[in-house]
Protein backbone atom coordinates (compact mmCIF):
# COMPACT_ATOMS: atom_id res chain seq x y z
CA UNK A 1 0.00 0.00 0.00
CA UNK A 2 1.15 3.56 -0.73
CA UNK A 3 1.51 6.12 2.04
CA UNK A 4 -1.67 8.22 2.22
CA UNK A 5 -1.35 11.91 1.36
CA UNK A 6 -4.48 12.84 3.29
CA UNK A 7 -4.54 15.78 5.67
CA UNK A 8 -6.05 13.84 8.52
CA UNK A 9 -8.58 15.88 10.51
CA UNK A 10 -10.74 13.07 11.88
CA UNK A 11 -8.93 12.30 15.13
CA UNK A 12 -12.22 11.91 17.02
CA UNK A 13 -12.90 8.85 14.84
CA UNK A 14 -9.52 7.24 15.45
CA UNK A 15 -5.80 8.05 15.67
CA UNK A 16 -2.60 6.56 14.28
CA UNK A 17 -0.83 4.13 16.59
CA UNK A 18 2.44 5.75 17.69
CA UNK A 19 5.69 4.08 16.62
CA UNK A 20 6.74 3.71 20.28
CA UNK A 21 3.44 1.97 20.98
CA UNK A 22 3.86 -0.47 18.08
CA UNK A 23 7.41 -1.21 19.26
CA UNK A 24 6.20 -1.93 22.79
CA UNK A 25 3.55 -4.35 21.48
CA UNK A 26 5.60 -6.40 19.02
CA UNK A 27 7.49 -8.67 21.49
CA UNK A 28 4.17 -9.75 22.97
CA UNK A 29 3.01 -11.19 19.65
CA UNK A 30 6.13 -13.26 19.10
CA UNK A 31 8.70 -13.79 21.86
CA UNK A 32 6.51 -13.18 24.91
CA UNK A 33 3.28 -14.67 23.62
CA UNK A 34 2.34 -16.59 26.76
CA UNK A 35 -1.16 -16.85 28.14
CA UNK A 36 -1.13 -14.79 31.35
CA UNK A 37 -2.97 -17.58 33.18
CA UNK A 38 -0.04 -20.04 32.90
CA UNK A 39 2.52 -20.95 35.55
CA UNK A 40 5.77 -20.64 33.54
CA UNK A 41 8.12 -17.80 32.68
CA UNK A 42 6.28 -16.79 29.49
CA UNK A 43 3.04 -16.46 31.42
CA UNK A 44 4.68 -14.47 34.19
CA UNK A 45 6.06 -12.06 31.58
CA UNK A 46 2.53 -11.49 30.27
CA UNK A 47 1.22 -10.99 33.80
CA UNK A 48 3.98 -8.48 34.53
CA UNK A 49 3.15 -6.63 31.31
CA UNK A 50 -0.53 -6.47 32.28
CA UNK A 51 0.43 -5.13 35.72
CA UNK A 52 2.61 -2.43 34.16
CA UNK A 53 -0.13 -1.37 31.73
CA UNK A 54 -2.73 -1.34 34.50
CA UNK A 55 -0.51 0.99 36.50
CA UNK A 56 0.13 3.22 33.49
CA UNK A 57 -3.61 3.67 32.89
CA UNK A 58 -4.32 4.06 36.63
CA UNK A 59 -1.68 6.80 36.91
CA UNK A 60 -3.46 8.87 34.26
CA UNK A 61 -6.81 8.41 36.02
CA UNK A 62 -5.45 9.00 39.53
CA UNK A 63 -6.78 5.66 40.79
CA UNK A 64 -5.47 2.34 42.10
CA UNK A 65 -4.36 -0.20 39.46
CA UNK A 66 -6.91 -2.66 40.86
CA UNK A 67 -9.66 -0.28 39.84
CA UNK A 68 -8.75 -0.57 36.12
CA UNK A 69 -10.46 -3.33 34.16
CA UNK A 70 -9.32 -4.09 30.62
CA UNK A 71 -12.00 -4.44 27.93
CA UNK A 72 -12.30 -4.72 24.17
CA UNK A 73 -12.87 -0.97 23.62
CA UNK A 74 -15.07 1.99 24.46
CA UNK A 75 -18.33 0.35 23.42
CA UNK A 76 -17.70 -2.65 25.62
CA UNK A 77 -16.68 -0.43 28.56
CA UNK A 78 -19.93 1.54 28.23
CA UNK A 79 -21.98 -1.66 28.02
CA UNK A 80 -20.24 -3.24 30.98
CA UNK A 81 -20.64 -0.09 33.07
CA UNK A 82 -24.33 0.38 32.34
CA UNK A 83 -25.63 -3.18 32.00
CA UNK A 84 -23.21 -4.42 34.66
CA UNK A 85 -24.31 -1.81 37.22
CA UNK A 86 -27.98 -2.14 36.33
CA UNK A 87 -28.01 -5.91 36.63
CA UNK A 88 -26.01 -5.87 39.87
CA UNK A 89 -28.31 -3.25 41.44
CA UNK A 90 -31.71 -4.30 40.09
CA UNK A 91 -33.05 -4.85 43.59
CA UNK A 92 -32.35 -1.20 44.50
CA UNK A 93 -34.53 0.20 41.71
CA UNK A 94 -35.06 0.22 37.97
CA UNK A 95 -34.44 3.81 36.94
CA UNK A 96 -31.53 5.16 34.96
CA UNK A 97 -30.66 8.71 33.81
CA UNK A 98 -28.67 9.75 30.75
CA UNK A 99 -28.64 12.55 28.15
CA UNK A 100 -29.76 12.85 24.54
CA UNK A 101 -26.23 13.54 23.25
CA UNK A 102 -24.51 10.35 24.42
CA UNK A 103 -22.71 8.04 22.00
CA UNK A 104 -24.84 5.19 20.69
CA UNK A 105 -22.75 2.83 22.84
CA UNK A 106 -24.66 4.41 25.74
CA UNK A 107 -27.98 5.32 24.11
CA UNK A 108 -28.54 1.91 22.55
CA UNK A 109 -27.50 0.19 25.77
CA UNK A 110 -30.04 2.09 27.86
CA UNK A 111 -32.60 1.35 25.14
CA UNK A 112 -31.87 -2.36 25.65
CA UNK A 113 -32.51 -1.89 29.38
CA UNK A 114 -35.80 -0.13 28.69
CA UNK A 115 -36.86 -3.27 26.82
CA UNK A 116 -36.13 -5.17 30.05
CA UNK A 117 -38.59 -2.88 31.86
CA UNK A 118 -36.20 -0.20 33.13
CA UNK A 119 -37.42 3.40 33.25
CA UNK A 120 -34.98 5.64 31.38
CA UNK A 121 -34.82 9.43 31.70
CA UNK A 122 -33.05 11.04 28.73
CA UNK A 123 -32.19 14.58 29.80
CA UNK A 124 -32.24 17.52 27.38
CA UNK A 125 -29.20 19.72 26.70
CA UNK A 126 -28.93 23.44 26.00
CA UNK A 127 -28.11 25.00 22.62
CA UNK A 128 -24.39 24.36 23.29
CA UNK A 129 -25.00 20.69 23.98
CA UNK A 130 -24.57 20.96 27.76
CA UNK A 131 -26.71 19.23 30.34
CA UNK A 132 -27.88 21.19 33.42
CA UNK A 133 -26.87 19.78 36.80
CA UNK A 134 -30.25 20.94 38.14
CA UNK A 135 -31.99 18.69 35.59
CA UNK A 136 -29.98 15.70 36.81
CA UNK A 137 -30.91 16.56 40.38
CA UNK A 138 -34.59 16.82 39.56
CA UNK A 139 -34.58 13.51 37.70
CA UNK A 140 -33.01 11.51 40.55
CA UNK A 141 -35.64 9.55 42.44
CA UNK A 142 -35.67 6.86 45.13
CA UNK A 143 -35.44 4.14 42.47
CA UNK A 144 -32.54 5.69 40.49
CA UNK A 145 -29.59 3.32 40.21
CA UNK A 146 -27.25 5.02 37.76
CA UNK A 147 -26.56 8.32 36.02
CA UNK A 148 -24.50 8.19 32.80
CA UNK A 149 -23.26 11.50 31.34
CA UNK A 150 -20.35 11.68 28.92
CA UNK A 151 -17.24 13.71 29.76
CA UNK A 152 -17.07 15.36 26.33
CA UNK A 153 -19.22 14.89 23.27
CA UNK A 154 -17.61 13.20 20.29
CA UNK A 155 -19.44 15.25 17.66
CA UNK A 156 -19.53 18.84 18.91
CA UNK A 157 -16.79 18.56 21.55
CA UNK A 158 -18.81 20.08 24.40
CA UNK A 159 -17.47 19.32 27.88
CA UNK A 160 -20.10 18.35 30.45
CA UNK A 161 -20.17 19.49 34.11
CA UNK A 162 -19.20 15.98 35.21
CA UNK A 163 -17.51 16.96 38.50
CA UNK A 164 -20.71 18.66 39.68
CA UNK A 165 -22.82 15.72 38.51
CA UNK A 166 -20.44 13.32 40.25
CA UNK A 167 -20.70 15.26 43.52
CA UNK A 168 -24.49 15.28 43.24
CA UNK A 169 -24.68 11.54 42.59
CA UNK A 170 -22.34 10.81 45.49
CA UNK A 171 -24.54 12.89 47.81
CA UNK A 172 -27.67 11.12 46.61
CA UNK A 173 -26.17 7.63 46.76
CA UNK A 174 -26.53 7.02 43.01
CA UNK A 175 -23.83 5.45 40.83
CA UNK A 176 -22.25 7.77 38.27
CA UNK A 177 -20.74 6.61 34.97
CA UNK A 178 -18.96 8.86 32.51
CA UNK A 179 -17.92 8.00 28.97
CA UNK A 180 -14.46 9.58 28.75
CA UNK A 181 -13.56 8.01 25.41
CA UNK A 182 -12.95 11.43 23.84
CA UNK A 183 -11.14 12.95 26.83
CA UNK A 184 -8.80 10.31 28.26
CA UNK A 185 -5.26 11.14 27.13
CA UNK A 186 -6.37 14.55 25.86
CA UNK A 187 -7.39 16.55 28.92
CA UNK A 188 -6.65 15.91 32.61
CA UNK A 189 -8.87 13.36 34.36
CA UNK A 190 -8.87 12.73 38.09
CA UNK A 191 -11.51 10.20 39.07
CA UNK A 192 -11.46 11.41 42.69
CA UNK A 193 -12.21 15.00 41.61
CA UNK A 194 -14.90 13.82 39.18
CA UNK A 195 -16.38 11.60 41.92
CA UNK A 196 -17.33 9.04 39.30
CA UNK A 197 -17.83 5.37 40.04
CA UNK A 198 -17.33 4.13 36.49
CA UNK A 199 -15.39 5.67 33.58
CA UNK A 200 -14.94 4.34 30.04
CA UNK A 201 -11.91 4.84 27.80
CA UNK A 202 -10.67 3.49 24.48
CA UNK A 203 -7.04 3.11 23.34
CA UNK A 204 -7.50 3.96 19.66
CA UNK A 205 -8.56 7.51 20.51
CA UNK A 206 -5.15 8.34 22.04
CA UNK A 207 -2.71 6.69 19.62
CA UNK A 208 -3.11 3.18 21.00
CA UNK A 209 -4.40 0.14 19.12
CA UNK A 210 -8.03 -0.49 18.16
CA UNK A 211 -10.14 -3.06 19.96
CA UNK A 212 -8.82 -2.44 23.45
CA UNK A 213 -10.11 -0.19 26.20
CA UNK A 214 -10.61 0.03 29.92
CA UNK A 215 -13.27 0.65 32.49
CA UNK A 216 -12.46 2.36 35.77
CA UNK A 217 -14.51 0.65 38.48
CA UNK A 218 -14.27 2.42 41.84
CA UNK A 219 -13.36 0.13 44.72
CA UNK A 220 -16.53 -1.19 46.30
CA UNK A 221 -18.71 -0.87 43.18
CA UNK A 222 -20.29 -4.17 42.17
CA UNK A 223 -20.92 -5.07 38.53
CA UNK A 224 -22.50 -8.11 36.93
CA UNK A 225 -20.38 -9.49 34.05
CA UNK A 226 -21.68 -9.38 30.47
CA UNK A 227 -19.87 -12.58 29.51
CA UNK A 228 -19.36 -15.70 31.55
CA UNK A 229 -16.20 -17.76 31.51
CA UNK A 230 -12.82 -17.66 33.20
CA UNK A 231 -11.45 -15.61 36.08
CA UNK A 232 -9.67 -12.94 33.99
CA UNK A 233 -10.26 -9.34 35.07
CA UNK A 234 -11.77 -10.58 38.35
CA UNK A 235 -14.32 -12.59 36.38
CA UNK A 236 -15.88 -9.36 35.09
CA UNK A 237 -14.30 -9.67 31.66
CA UNK A 238 -13.43 -13.29 31.09
CA UNK A 239 -11.40 -14.25 27.99
CA UNK A 240 -7.65 -14.56 27.45
CA UNK A 241 -6.17 -11.08 27.82
CA UNK A 242 -5.15 -9.17 24.68
CA UNK A 243 -1.66 -8.68 26.08
CA UNK A 244 -0.10 -6.81 23.10
CA UNK A 245 -3.11 -4.49 22.86
CA UNK A 246 -3.15 -3.80 26.58
CA UNK A 247 0.62 -3.17 26.62
CA UNK A 248 0.15 -0.70 23.75
CA UNK A 249 -2.68 1.06 25.55
CA UNK A 250 -0.55 1.46 28.67
CA UNK A 251 2.34 2.98 26.73
CA UNK A 252 -0.02 5.24 24.75
CA UNK A 253 -1.59 6.44 28.02
CA UNK A 254 1.81 7.20 29.55
CA UNK A 255 3.00 9.07 26.46
CA UNK A 256 -0.26 11.03 26.17
CA UNK A 257 0.05 12.15 29.79
CA UNK A 258 3.64 13.32 29.22
CA UNK A 259 2.68 15.68 26.43
CA UNK A 260 -0.87 16.52 27.50
CA UNK A 261 -0.23 20.10 28.65
CA UNK A 262 1.74 21.13 25.58
CA UNK A 263 -0.64 19.37 23.16
CA UNK A 264 -3.67 20.95 24.80
CA UNK A 265 -2.17 24.40 24.34
CA UNK A 266 -0.97 23.69 20.80
CA UNK A 267 -4.21 22.13 19.61
CA UNK A 268 -6.35 24.84 21.22
CA UNK A 269 -4.36 27.46 19.30
CA UNK A 270 -4.80 25.50 16.05
CA UNK A 271 -8.50 25.05 16.76
CA UNK A 272 -8.93 28.80 17.22
CA UNK A 273 -6.92 29.50 14.07
CA UNK A 274 -9.13 27.16 12.06
CA UNK A 275 -12.34 28.45 13.60
CA UNK A 276 -11.36 32.05 12.89
CA UNK A 277 -11.00 31.25 9.18
CA UNK A 278 -14.20 29.21 8.99
CA UNK A 279 -16.34 31.68 10.93
CA UNK A 280 -15.09 34.54 8.74
CA UNK A 281 -17.10 32.98 5.89
CA UNK A 282 -20.67 34.26 5.48
CA UNK A 283 -23.47 32.26 7.08
CA UNK A 284 -21.23 29.76 8.87
CA UNK A 285 -21.67 29.12 12.59
CA UNK A 286 -20.13 27.09 15.36
CA UNK A 287 -21.78 24.01 16.86
CA UNK A 288 -21.14 23.14 20.50
CA UNK A 289 -19.85 25.33 23.28
CA UNK A 290 -17.56 28.27 22.40
CA UNK A 291 -15.25 27.71 25.40
CA UNK A 292 -16.18 24.51 27.20
CA UNK A 293 -15.02 22.27 24.36
CA UNK A 294 -12.32 19.76 23.54
CA UNK A 295 -9.04 21.40 22.47
CA UNK A 296 -9.09 19.54 19.14
CA UNK A 297 -12.75 19.82 18.08
CA UNK A 298 -14.13 22.14 15.41
CA UNK A 299 -17.74 21.62 14.34
CA UNK A 300 -19.37 24.20 12.08
CA UNK A 301 -22.51 24.46 9.99
CA UNK A 302 -22.85 26.34 6.72
CA UNK A 303 -26.31 27.48 5.61
CA UNK A 304 -27.44 26.43 2.16
CA UNK A 305 -25.23 23.33 1.83
CA UNK A 306 -25.48 19.69 2.86
CA UNK A 307 -22.75 18.71 5.33
CA UNK A 308 -22.42 15.33 3.65
CA UNK A 309 -21.77 17.00 0.27
CA UNK A 310 -19.08 19.19 1.86
CA UNK A 311 -17.58 16.17 3.60
CA UNK A 312 -17.33 14.17 0.36
CA UNK A 313 -15.67 17.08 -1.43
CA UNK A 314 -13.23 17.62 1.44
CA UNK A 315 -12.20 14.00 0.84
CA UNK A 316 -11.67 14.74 -2.85
CA UNK A 317 -9.42 17.64 -1.79
CA UNK A 318 -7.38 15.16 0.27
CA UNK A 319 -8.79 16.19 3.63
CA UNK A 320 -10.28 13.62 6.02
CA UNK A 321 -13.24 15.14 7.86
CA UNK A 322 -16.58 13.91 9.13
CA UNK A 323 -20.16 14.98 9.62
CA UNK A 324 -20.44 13.28 12.98
CA UNK A 325 -19.77 10.07 14.79
CA UNK A 326 -17.91 7.39 12.83
CA UNK A 327 -20.53 4.93 14.04
CA UNK A 328 -23.37 6.81 12.30
CA UNK A 329 -21.64 7.09 8.92
CA UNK A 330 -23.98 5.70 6.31
CA UNK A 331 -27.07 6.06 8.49
CA UNK A 332 -29.46 8.65 7.07
CA UNK A 333 -30.83 11.63 8.93
CA UNK A 334 -29.39 14.49 10.95
CA UNK A 335 -27.05 14.13 13.91
CA UNK A 336 -28.91 13.14 17.09
CA UNK A 337 -26.53 15.43 18.98
CA UNK A 338 -27.46 18.52 16.98
CA UNK A 339 -31.15 17.60 17.17
CA UNK A 340 -30.86 17.26 20.97
CA UNK A 341 -29.18 20.70 21.11
CA UNK A 342 -32.21 22.15 19.30
CA UNK A 343 -30.27 22.99 16.12
CA UNK A 344 -32.66 23.59 13.24
CA UNK A 345 -32.34 24.02 9.50
CA UNK A 346 -30.51 25.48 7.68
CA UNK A 347 -27.78 24.56 10.21
CA UNK A 348 -28.87 21.04 11.07
CA UNK A 349 -27.85 19.26 7.90
CA UNK A 350 -25.00 21.60 7.00
CA UNK A 351 -22.48 20.55 9.64
CA UNK A 352 -18.90 19.37 9.34
CA UNK A 353 -16.53 18.11 12.07
CA UNK A 354 -12.77 18.64 11.86
CA UNK A 355 -10.80 17.11 14.72
CA UNK A 356 -7.10 17.90 15.14
CA UNK A 357 -4.30 15.74 16.51
CA UNK A 358 -0.67 15.68 17.55
CA UNK A 359 0.56 15.63 13.93
CA UNK A 360 -1.69 18.50 12.78
CA UNK A 361 0.20 21.59 11.60
CA UNK A 362 -0.84 25.23 11.03
CA UNK A 363 -0.31 24.67 7.28
CA UNK A 364 -2.74 21.73 7.31
CA UNK A 365 -5.33 23.74 9.17
CA UNK A 366 -5.00 26.60 6.67
CA UNK A 367 -5.29 24.18 3.73
CA UNK A 368 -8.45 22.71 5.27
CA UNK A 369 -9.94 26.18 5.77
CA UNK A 370 -9.13 27.11 2.15
CA UNK A 371 -10.68 23.92 0.79
CA UNK A 372 -13.77 24.41 2.96
CA UNK A 373 -14.24 27.98 1.73
CA UNK A 374 -13.97 26.94 -1.93
CA UNK A 375 -16.30 23.95 -1.49
CA UNK A 376 -18.98 25.91 0.36
CA UNK A 377 -18.82 28.73 -2.16
CA UNK A 378 -19.16 26.42 -5.15
CA UNK A 379 -22.00 24.40 -3.59
CA UNK A 380 -23.86 27.59 -2.71
CA UNK A 381 -23.38 28.97 -6.22
CA UNK A 382 -25.36 26.04 -7.59
CA UNK A 383 -27.95 25.92 -4.79
CA UNK A 384 -31.34 27.59 -5.25
CA UNK A 385 -31.84 27.30 -1.45
CA UNK A 386 -29.02 29.60 -0.38
CA UNK A 387 -30.09 33.18 0.37
CA UNK A 388 -27.04 35.17 1.49
CA UNK A 389 -27.43 37.22 4.63
CA UNK A 390 -30.90 35.88 5.44
CA UNK A 391 -29.77 33.64 8.29
CA UNK A 392 -29.91 35.09 11.79
N1 LIG B 1 -17.95 6.64 23.25
C2 LIG B 1 -17.55 7.72 22.55
C3 LIG B 1 -17.80 9.09 23.11
C4 LIG B 1 -16.90 7.57 21.33
O5 LIG B 1 -16.52 8.64 20.64
C6 LIG B 1 -16.68 6.26 20.84
C7 LIG B 1 -16.05 6.04 19.52
O8 LIG B 1 -16.23 6.82 18.61
C9 LIG B 1 -17.10 5.17 21.62
C10 LIG B 1 -17.73 5.39 22.82
C11 LIG B 1 -16.88 3.76 21.17
O12 LIG B 1 -15.52 3.41 21.32
P13 LIG B 1 -14.92 2.12 20.56
O14 LIG B 1 -14.80 2.52 19.12
O15 LIG B 1 -13.60 1.88 21.20
O16 LIG B 1 -15.88 1.01 20.77
Q: Give yes or no for residue 257 having a pLDDT over 90.
A: yes
CA nearest neighbour of 274 among 9, 66, 83: 9
Cβ–ligand 1 contact at 74 (below 6 Å): yes
Q: How far is the CA of 42 from the centre of ligand 1 (A)?
A: 33
Residue by residue, what is the 3-state secondary structure of the chain?
A: CCCCCCEECECCCCCCCCHHHHHHHHHHCCCCCCCCCCCCHHHHHHHHHHHHHHHHHHHHHCCCHHHEEEECCHHHHHHHHHHHHHHHCCCCCCEEEEECCCCHHHHHHHHHHHHCCCEEEEECCCCCCCCCHHHHHHHCCCCEEEEECCCECCCCCEECCHHHHHHHHHHHCCEEEEECCCCCCCCCCCHHHHCCCEEEEEHHHCCCCCCCEEEEECCCCCCCCCCCCCCHHHHCCCCCCCHHHHHHHHHHHHHHHHCHHHHHHHHHHHHHHHHHHHHCCCCEEECCCCCCECCCEEEEEECCCCHHHHHHHHHHCCEECECCCHHHCCCCCCCHHHHHCCCCCCCCCCEEEEECCCCCCHHHHHHHHHHHHHHHHHHHHCCCCCCCCCCC
Beta carbons of 302 and 315 less than 8 angstroms apart: no
Mean pLDDT of the chain: 96
Domains of the chain: 7-12+260-381 (3.90.1150.10), 19-255 (3.40.640.10)
Q: How far is the CA of 356 from the centre of ligand 1 (A)?
A: 17
Per-residue pLDDT, 330: 54
Confidence of residue 327 (pLDDT cuts 50, 70, 90): very low
The pLDDT tens digits of the residues spanning 127-174 come to: 999 999 999 999 999 999 999 999 999 999 999 999 999 999 999 999
Residue 44 CA to residue 61 CA, distance in Å, equals 26
Confidence of residue 324 (pLDDT cuts 50, 70, 90): confident
Ligand 1 atom, smallest distance to 105 CA: 10
Per-residue pLDDT, 82: 98
Residue 174 CA to residue 146 CA, distance in Å, equals 6
Cβ–ligand 1 contact at 15 (below 6 Å): no
Per-residue pLDDT, 392: 76
Residue 302 CA to residue 230 CA, distance in Å, equals 52
Mean pLDDT on 328-352: 87
Cβ–ligand 1 contact at 105 (below 6 Å): yes
Q: How far is the CA of 207 from the centre of ligand 1 (A)?
A: 14
Q: How far is the CA of 178 from the centre of ligand 1 (A)?
A: 12
Beta carbons of 302 and 281 less than 8 angstroms apart: yes
Ligand 1 atom, smallest distance to 325 CA: 8
Cβ–ligand 1 contact at 324 (below 6 Å): no
Beta carbons of 305 and 383 less than 8 angstroms apart: yes
Per-residue pLDDT, 3: 73
Q: Give yes or no for residue 247 having a pLDDT over 50.
A: yes
CA nearest neighbour of 169 among 200, 136, 199, 191: 136
Cβ–ligand 1 contact at 154 (below 6 Å): yes
Ligand 1 atom, smallest distance to 211 CA: 15
Per-residue pLDDT, 322: 96
Question: For residues 6 and 178, which has the higher predicted lDDT (pLDDT)?
Answer: 178
The pLDDT tens digits of the residues spanning 4-22 come to: 779 999 999 999 999 999 9
The pLDDT tens digits of the residues spanning 82-113 come to: 999 999 998 999 999 999 999 999 999 999 99
Ligand 1 atom, smallest distance to 73 CA: 15
Which residues form the catalytic set? 327
Mean pLDDT on 286-314: 97
The pLDDT tens digits of the residues spanning 193-246 come to: 999 999 999 999 999 999 999 999 999 999 999 999 999 999 999 999 999 999
Residue 381 CA to residue 278 CA, distance in Å, equals 18
> Which residues touch 390 (CB under 8 Å, ≥6 apart)?
none
Cβ–ligand 1 contact at 72 (below 6 Å): no
Say what the pTM is.
0.97
Nearest CA residue ID for atom 10, ligand 1: 74
Q: Give yes or no for residue 362 having a pLDDT over 80.
A: yes
Cβ–ligand 1 contact at 208 (below 6 Å): no
Q: Give yes or no for residue 325 having a pLDDT over 60.
A: no
Ligand 1 atom, smallest distance to 76 CA: 16
Nearest CA residue ID for atom 9, ligand 1: 74
Amino acid sequence: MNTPTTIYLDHAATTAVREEVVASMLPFFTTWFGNASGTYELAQASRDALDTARKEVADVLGCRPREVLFTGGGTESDNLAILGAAHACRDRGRHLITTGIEHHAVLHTVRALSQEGWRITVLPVDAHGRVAVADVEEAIGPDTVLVSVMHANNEVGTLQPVAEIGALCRRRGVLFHTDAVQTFGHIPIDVAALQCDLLSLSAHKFHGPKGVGALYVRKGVTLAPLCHGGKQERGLRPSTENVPGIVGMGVAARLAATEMDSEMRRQTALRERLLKSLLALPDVRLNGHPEERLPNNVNVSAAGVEGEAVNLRMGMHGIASSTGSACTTGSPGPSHVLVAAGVREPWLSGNLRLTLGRATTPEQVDAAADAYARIVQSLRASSPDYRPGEYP
